[in-house]
Chain A
Amino acid sequence: MQRKECLRAVYPQLEQSLVVTIMGAVAVELQGLGHRPNFFYLQHAMGLASSLGLGLALGLPEQKVVVLDGDGSLLMNLGTLSTMARSAPRNLVHVVFDNRSYLSAGNSPTATAAGADLEGIARASGIPRTASARSVEEFRAAFLGALDRGQLTTLVAHVDTSGPSDWLTDLGLLENRFQFARHCRSLVHR
């Protein structure tokens, strides 16, 4: 299963949500499908996309927030799972693309290549709903279910270890940051 195909399958729903991604392949591939003012790509600070999504979900409880995380990033901040579980915002969907590799940092294997089970860790951390997907159809169904259900969900998508040929895009970091913040705040006054 290609991560890019998963993103394509749920792109219409992402357009309706506040989306926070990690650095690397997911940021490049989502921008490749079409950047939107409601997409924020956290291009560093590995591990904190889910923390940022938590702050956003608590600050804007009427909005759906989607975090697109990765195995290497989540392994750097496993405590985020128990922290999210303690607050359990109903408007947060946490997707983890597990490609078993630090792909954008030289393609070395992560602990999931050695058997670490992120869905199991999420469940044991108290995340109320967890799922995993191995096909695009499974992913799409699980993602739409999580969005509709209104319950904090961690969805682990097992994807191929492949990605784009370059990690830079023409979207400036601060341009993305201010555009995203302006978009979020425009939602408050509606």
Chain B
Amino acid sequence: MPVSQANSRLLYQAMKGCGVRIVSALPESWLVPVIGLIAADAEMKLVQVAKEEEGVGISAGAHFAGVKSAMIIPNHGFLAAINPIVSLAHLYKIPLLMFIAYRGTFGDPYPWHTPGGTVTEPLLRTLRIPYEFLDAPDTLECRVRGALRLAEASLLPVALLLKHELMMEA
């Protein structure tokens, strides 16, 4: 089952349309096309990190610079970034726009993703991180715009969970 090139492009266009200019990313298979589109865009700066927690620091620096940024990570990367989300973003009121590949849920054939899939939403709720699903092309842009607006208004991390039905070809 291939990754949806069309919806990856919509995701990239929504991010760029909202003014996002610095993106930190750590790829996994669902995220490769959208990361490729950002890498090819001379008006955007892609920072390929070695571990997802670096992205929290990069977004904090970008925010201080007045530049809109985003993180593109798998949900196991969100787990890896929890300490800086709490000890940097929450402590210092830093807006984060996190695009999280929601692996390990219905439709995912790979069992190693399941534990992360099971705890992703409970952890987002425990951390009081507002989140919404990206699951269909027609609501994608509106939700991305709304997520960024909330992050910047509240100075808090927000998450968009990229679902299987959006990211994979039917």
Contacts and interface: CB of A to CB of B under 8 A. Distances in A.
Contacts, number: 113
B9 interface: no
Contacts of A40: 64
Nearest to A81: B50
Interface string B79-118: 0000110011001110000000000000000000000000
Contact of A44 (B53, B59, B69, B91): B91
B34 interface: no
A54 B47 contact: yes
B63 A181 contact: yes
Contacts of A42: 88
Nearest to B45: A58
Nearest to A184: B64
B54 interface: yes
A45 B84 contact: yes
B38 interface: no
Interface of A: 20, 40, 42-45, 47-60, 77, 79-80, 82-83, 86-87, 173-174, 177, 180-181, 184-185, 188
Nearest to A76: B53
Interface in B31-80: 45, 47-51, 53-67, 69
A87 B62 CA distance: 14
